[in-house]
Each structure stands twice: as C-alpha cells, then as structure tokens.
Structure 1
Amino acid sequence: MEDVRVDRLLGIGEFARRSRLSVKALRLYERHGLLRPARVDEANGYRRYHEDQLTDARLVALLRRLDMPLAAVARIVAADEGERADLVSAYWSGVEERVAVQRGLAAHLRVVLSGGRGLSEMYRIEQREVPERVVLTEQRHLLQPELTAWIAAAWQRLTKAAEAHGGVAAPPYVVYHGEVDQDSNGPVEMCVPVNAEALPPDVASRVDPAHTEAYARLPKAQVAFPQILSAFDAVAQWIKENDRAVTDAPREVYFADWDASGPDDEVCDVAFPMR
C-alpha cells in the first residue's frame, strides 16, 4: 500500500544532520532494515525520509552509543513504545553482568600472570564449624563446559527428592573429588542436606562428617570459570600459611537464590574442610 503521509520529506544529508547519524550509518541501517527511506528515486537512487522518522532515528543513535548490537536495536525499535524501556533495562542488566564477570576474569589473570602476587588480598578467608549431616547425592564425571548445566539440573532433582526426606536442611553444595576443566572430568558430586538421621539403602545418600571449613565468599560474577579458580587457590594458600591441613575435597556452597541474584550479590562459598 502506498505511504500517503503528507509530512515533509528530508534528503539523506539533512536527515543525517537532524538525527545525529552519519550518511554511512543511515545506509548501514537501511541494509539491516532498521531505518528504510520513505522514498528512493529509481533514476538516481536519491533517498528521502519522512520527518516523523527522526524519532526512531534518534533512538537508534542513542542505543548505538550503548554499543548495542544492531539486532538488539532492531528489536527495540520494532517494539511497542510501552515495551521499549523494559527491553533497554534487560539489555543493560546483561551488560553489567558481563562486565562484572570480565572484571573478575581480569583480576584472576593478573594473579596468574604475576605468579600469584596479590592472591591473598583478593579474598577474605574465614572459618566455621560444620555439623555432621545426611545428604542426598548425585555424582558425575564431567568436563568444565558441561558443569553449569549439570549443577542446575542436579540441584533441582535433589531439592525435589528432599521433600520426601524431611526437606532441605542446609545450603546445597558441590564437591570436587577431582580436577574439572576442559580436559579433566572430576568426578563431581552434588549434595543436598536433608532433615533426616538416616535414609533407606535404595536412596543415593551419605553422611558428611562434622568438620571445620576455611572458606571465601563470592559474588555471583566471580563464580564463573576460570576466575573462580583464584578463590580455590586463595583458600588453599590460607590453609597452608596458617599451618592447617586440607582433610577432604573442596566444595562450592550455594546459599542464595541464584536466579534472583545480581552479579554483585554474594551467592557462593568456596570451602575446604581442614584440621
């Protein structure tokens, strides 16, 4: 259907000036379907834009100043006006989470590349007494790329299973009985403590003995691999420097709602049983 709007048509130069976009950018956005000219002269290819397209053009200019990818810009421009603010908020939350993870990775790399200097200053190491407890368990041999998805799924399965055994008694935790990276596959054990003194023999469970733990508390952004390795190194170093000895496999204790937590919210303890 022919566009019958009667508002003023602007040449590409004037439209570029008033929208704060370059002619080159306007041609790029046209190719991506973001800002199509209202008229294109078939003889000379001269492009004209409706004056009321300036609102979307200025929005595109502002969104691109956030380094927003064209695909994300297109979704926001195409969205209803009532949805645009929420889409921008969701995009920026993702940016902040990514930057927080990258900040942790940069700190980890500085320690690695400096031969461990500054490791002890990165974390506050504390200790606590952990009582004996019965835990539901699930164990797998996994490489690091598979780990995150398995932890989430096993956590959900065991938390649901705990309902039949008195409910969850304490924060779930992941025990690393062996190295886990791109080449080594553990094994890894997911544990969910339950409110029970014993469980039937057909239920995958064990008793985790009482022990003392040294631990470092981490925000969500620092739980990502490989920067989380710095926390494991820091706790192990603290134990050695304080003339203590590791007595069992290291673990990650998840005490907060992962999905509801932001990148700077504390969610996990990296812990080593010790004596």
Structure 2
Amino acid sequence: MGWKKPRTSPPPTEPWYARLATSAGRPAVLGATLIMSMPGEYHVAKFAGWSDPWAYGMPFSLSAYAGIAAVVAATRPKGARGRASAVIGAGLAIVLALAAQVVAHLVQTGHMDHNQAWLIAVTSMVPPAVLAHLLHLAATPVTKAAPAEAQLPAAVPPVTVERAEEQLVPPMPEQAPALPPAEHQEQEQERPALEEQRPKRPAIRYSDPRCAILRPLYDAGFRPTTGEMREALEAQRITPPSASTLRGVLRAEIEKHEPALAQLPARPSPLHRAG
C-alpha cells in the first residue's frame, strides 16, 4: 500500500448569524449608546449655564473625545510618546460620560440639587480641557517600532546570513593534527585561490531574523521541508512557529530575496530514493 497523506479537516467557520451580529451589532450598539447618552450630557450642560444651541455641543465633545482617545491608546505601540496620555484621556472620558449620566438622573429624580457651585465649575472646565488634550495628542509624534524585532524573544538578536552561517558551523576539535611545514605552506597558498573561486553570497537583511537561520538549508540543493526548518530553529533553541508560518512567511521571504531558490526540487523522501 502506498503512503497516503492524512486528511485534515477544514477549520471551523462561524455561523452566518454570529458574523452578522459581530459586523452589524457593534455599530448598532455604538449608535444606541451615543443616542441614550446625549440627553444626560445635554442636561448637565444646561445645569452649568449653557443655553441652546450651545448645550448640544457637550454630548458631541464628550463622545468624540472618548472615541479619539481610545483609538490613539489602542493604535500606538507600547513606549510610544502620547500613548500613556491617551490611555489616561480615554479613562477620563469614560468617567466624565458616566458622571454626566449619573448627575443628570439624580437631578431629574430629585435626589440632587443642580444649582451647586462645584458641579457648575467642573462642567464648565470640560470643553477647554478636552480641546487642550486633543491638541496635545495631535502634536505628539508617533514612533513606530520594528515589528520583526519586537515579536521575537529578547534573547534572539537580529542576525544576517553570514552571522547565521557562523552559528551553524560545528566547533573545531580541541587539538588538530599538526601538518608538515611544506604541506602547511601549500595549503596557505591554495586558500586565497579557493576563496576567490567560491561564490560569495551577498548579506541579506531579512525582516525576520529567523530567515537567516533557515537560509543555509538551501545549500544542499533542495528546498527545505517543514520538518527541516523546524529542526534548524530548535537547534538554535528557538521555538519554531506553526507550519503555515514556516512555509508561508519565513520560507517565502527567503525566496522573495532569491527567487531562484523557489525553483529548487524538493528533497526526495526515503520511499522515492528506494525505488
């Protein structure tokens, strides 16, 4: 019986109603919560002394402020300038929105008097404080970190092809046999000629340093398999990623820099070599 490739089941897919709830439900919930929050924020602005139509600006300023601060906090990488300020601003916007709803309902139900100095003072400071913080976020530059170096463990420094080859070379024996002086001189004379004839591969700077560890596998004249790439990474004490990442990301990047490598034949299996 010939070898049969194991059948793999397709990945599970979400039902259509779950996808619909995710895609259409989020904007619907967002719109509903904004509409429900507007009356409370509007009444708080009226309590503080704003007249129509200026009082309607309070719901829009708080909602826009919360959304912008949340997006900035989520999109800026850790350690980037302005991210900590955006996180604090997003939390403050949520607190202000919650406080506006609570105060408005307490006043409307008679549990709180709206004619209080502290409430008027705090509410009056909201628009200029929101404007100042948004201008601060807009003026703060965004610094992008290198994605490849950030995803790899800290113990794996960025390496080039030449450095990876040095790491994969086995160590020399402690005591090599001594050669006669004449043979030693002949070898020293032949070494420059051999080095000139040997094709020099240019150093390639990969976006993922693990590609430099896998590149020497092509020197055998075959396209490396998933198992060979996994063993090469484990030999360097690096946890190998999934098979799809090995073939579709790492091997694809190597062959992108050197398209001729993609034309190499696959290594024959033991069954093919036997006959």
| Range of TM-score over shorter length | under 0.3
Q: Which structure would you say has the larger RCO, counting Cα contacts within 8 Å and 6 or more residues apart?
A: 1
Q: Is the helix fraction higher in 1 or 2?
A: 2
State the structure with more CA Rg. Answer: 2
Give me the TM-score of the superposition, normalised by structure 2.
0.24
Give me the TM-score of the superposition, normalised by structure 1.
0.24
